[in-house]
Amino acid sequence: MRMSDLIMKKRDGGVLTDEEIRWMIDGYTKGDIPDYQMSAMCMAIFFAGMDMDETYALTMAMLDSGERIDLSGIQGVKADKHSTGGVGDKTSLLLCPMVAACGVKMAKLSGRGLGHTGGTIDKLESFAGFSVEMTDEQFIRQVNQVGFAIAGQTADICPADKKLYALRDVTGTVASLPLIVSSILCKKLAVGADVIVLDVKCGSGAFMQTEEAAMGLANALVEVGRRAGKKVVAVVTDMDEPLGATVGNAIEVHEALATLRGEYRGELMELCLALGTQILRESGVAADDETARAMLEKAVESGAALERFAAFVKAQGGDSAAVYDKSLLPLAPVRKDVLADRAGYVKHIQAEDVGLVSMHLGGGRAAKGDDIDPGVGVALYKKVGDAVAAGERLGTVFARTEQAADQAAGMLLDCYEIVPEKVERAPYVKGVVK
Ligand code: URA
């Protein structure tokens, strides 16, 4: 087989066979196929697409490029959740303890943030001493004892995806449906949960900007996941503004804890209930959506989810006292309010730019390996649809210096679009594909 022939076949709209796809992924992972040929293939796929058989074959070939995690030591049903990425997305911090408190185990591998999106691990490291380094045995023991664990990726899973994703990132080929589907699913399949719930973001802050494109991605993810023998559900949700009321690290943990305590009830809890409902029903612990939702609500109201979260922080070496005492979370001391420069209604908050405000304050990484400051970030008091008076607070920036605070405050104001006419907020959950 020759890579140049496969590139031309795909360029001309041909369908690659399972054997061709396996040969290509194997050769690329080993370094036999150079980046320039794989770049051309990615661009050909970007324009010509792939059918479901090809997408499935690509997913399985990428899965087989590396190790799989053996979760057979975990008792009961194991669930996993993945989000296609968003600003202010702290969902795992709430969803894992809520679901665990209802009797379904969550075994999650997470990553660090890069650019405008934050990573779950960075947020959790706001707890002094918290660690995501653990052996497979420790991971499994903790999931059995506490109900969930969140670890960094240690095993060499899906090396093909690592190489390919880095290549796509610099060749304008990230936003290709078959490449996204295979990239997400190969990693989820390598972890090996029985139930996989996917949060597919839709809007200006997401890969998929329209509802139609997001539903297309959701359908493809569910179909390929099912073919691989998993129970997969995709929930399409809004990303036309940051998720929830905060963007940063410790400040997002603070919001997650306040939401688990029942102090806030916004779209963050709505999203966790929507995702959690799918997990409990697909896992078989709830007969229907209504029962699942009631179980999750009870886990929050009773304090059981918060207790699980504290047990999880302690099990991973973190200071669990900070779960109950927010003064122990490292919030930056210089605070500057951002005031509305006109009256009206919030039409849009540019999610990506809010992520960049947090990054400029030091809360995110420009390059892999950069240190981050857990204490900086932003709080947003006004969200899409809210009425605003001139001079009213839109948000607050948390910074280390006055100069950084002034600059970030100006940037945050620019993220807001305020219009004179009333704005109807679209439903947060746009659809469920199962
Ligand atoms: N997340 C991934 O892991 N891969 C993609 O291609 C897109 C989002």
Task: Record the tokens describing residue 187, joined without a space.
Answer: 């990693």
CA torsion 112→243→305→285, rounded to 10°? -100
CA of 218 from ligand 1 middle (Å) equals: 13
Cα 205 to Cα 214: distance, rounded to the nearest angstrom: 12
* Beta strand pairing call for 195-202 and 429-433: unpaired
- β-bridge partners, 349: 416
- Please report, in tens digits, the pLDDT of each residue of the chain (434 residues total): 999 999 999 999 999 999 999 999 999 999 999 999 999 999 999 999 999 999 999 999 999 999 999 999 999 999 999 998 789 999 999 999 999 999 999 999 887 776 677 789 999 999 999 999 999 899 999 999 999 999 987 668 999 999 999 999 899 998 899 999 999 999 999 999 999 999 999 987 787 889 999 999 999 999 999 999 999 999 999 888 999 999 999 999 999 999 999 998 889 999 999 999 999 999 999 999 999 999 999 999 999 999 999 999 999 999 999 999 989 999 999 999 999 999 999 999 999 899 999 999 999 887 777 889 999 999 999 999 999 999 999 999 999 999 999 999 999 999 999 999 999 988 889 999 99
Residue 64 CB burial class (10 angstroms; 0-12, 13-18, ≥19): middle
Q: At what angle do helices 304-315 and 91-101 cross, to 10 degrees?
A: 110
CA of 184 from ligand 1 middle (Å) equals: 5
Return the ligand 1 atom nearest residue 180 CA: 6
* Residue among 182, 184, 217, 239 to mutate when testing ligand 1 (max atoms within 8 A of CB): 184
CA of 224 from ligand 1 middle (Å) equals: 15
* CATH superfamily for domain 3-49: Transferase, Pyrimidine Nucleoside Phosphorylase; Chain C (1.20.970.10)
* Residue among 82, 114, 116, 207 to mutate when testing ligand 1 (max atoms within 8 A of CB): 207
CA of 84 from ligand 1 middle (Å) equals: 7
Task: Record the tokens describing residue 155, joined without a space.
Answer: 């095993």
Chain centroid to CA 228:
22
Q: What is the pTM of this model?
A: 0.93
DSSP for 163-223, please give it. HHHHHHHTTT-SS-HHHHHHHHHHHHHHHT-SEEEEEEEESTTSSB-SHHHHHHHHHHHHH
Q: What was the pLDDT predicted at 154?
A: 67
Cα 134 to Cα 119: distance, rounded to the nearest angstrom: 18
Could you report the per-residue pLDDT of 334-360, keeping only the tens digit for each? Answer: 999 999 999 999 999 999 899 999 999
Cα 348 to Cα 337: distance, rounded to the nearest angstrom: 19
Q: What was the pLDDT predicted at 326?
A: 87
For residue 292, what are the CA distances in angstroms to 34, 78, 104, 307, 309?
49, 16, 12, 20, 20
Range(s) within the chain of domains with CATH label 1.20.970.10: 3-49
CA of 351 from ligand 1 middle (Å) equals: 18
**Hey, what CATH topology would domain 330-419 get?**
Aldehyde Oxidoreductase; domain 3 (3.90.1170)
The closest alpha carbon to 196, from 148, 147, 231, belongs to: 231
Name the closest-CA residue to atom 5, ligand 1.
180
2 SS3 class = coil
Range(s) within the chain of domains with CATH label 3.90.1170.30: 330-419
DSSP for 24-48, please give it. HHHHHHHTSS-HHHHHHHHHHHHHH
Cβ neighbors of 394 (< 8 A, separation 6 or more) are 338, 339, 340, 346, 380, 381, 382, 388, 412, 413, 416
Q: What was the pLDDT predicted at 365?
A: 84
Q: CB under 6 Å to ligand 1: residues? A: 84-85, 165, 174, 179-180, 183-184
Name the closest-CA residue to atom 6, ligand 1.
180
CB-CB contact of 190 with 158 (8 Å)? yes
Cα 330 to Cα 161: distance, rounded to the nearest angstrom: 35
Q: How far apart are the first and last CA of the chain?
A: 38
Cα 377 to Cα 335: distance, rounded to the nearest angstrom: 10
Cα 316 to Cα 304: distance, rounded to the nearest angstrom: 19
Name the closest-CA residue to atom 3, ligand 1.
184
- Hey, which residues are catalytic here? 82, 161, 168, 183, 187
The closest alpha carbon to 309, from 247, 253, 262, 269, belongs to: 253
The closest alpha carbon to 151, from 159, 165, 141, belongs to: 141
CB-CB contact of 355 with 242 (8 Å)? yes
Could you report the per-residue pLDDT of 140-154, keeping only the tens digit for each? Answer: 999 999 999 999 876
Q: What was the pLDDT predicted at 29?
A: 97
- For domain 78-324, give the CATH number: 3.40.1030.10
Looking at residue 425, the DSSP 8-state letter turns out to be P
* Residue among 58, 80, 183, 200 to mutate when testing ligand 1 (max atoms within 8 A of CB): 183
Q: What was the pLDDT predicted at 155?
A: 63
Name the closest-CA residue to atom 2, ligand 1.
184
CB-CB contact of 84 with 200 (8 Å)? yes
Give the helix/strand (H/E) hosting 346. Answer: strand 344-349
Q: Render the burial of 334-350: b for 16+ CB within 10 Å, e for the rest.
A: bebebebeeebbbbbbb
Cα 143 to Cα 346: distance, rounded to the nearest angstrom: 42
Range(s) within the chain of domains with CATH label 3.40.1030.10: 78-324
Cα 200 to Cα 206: distance, rounded to the nearest angstrom: 9
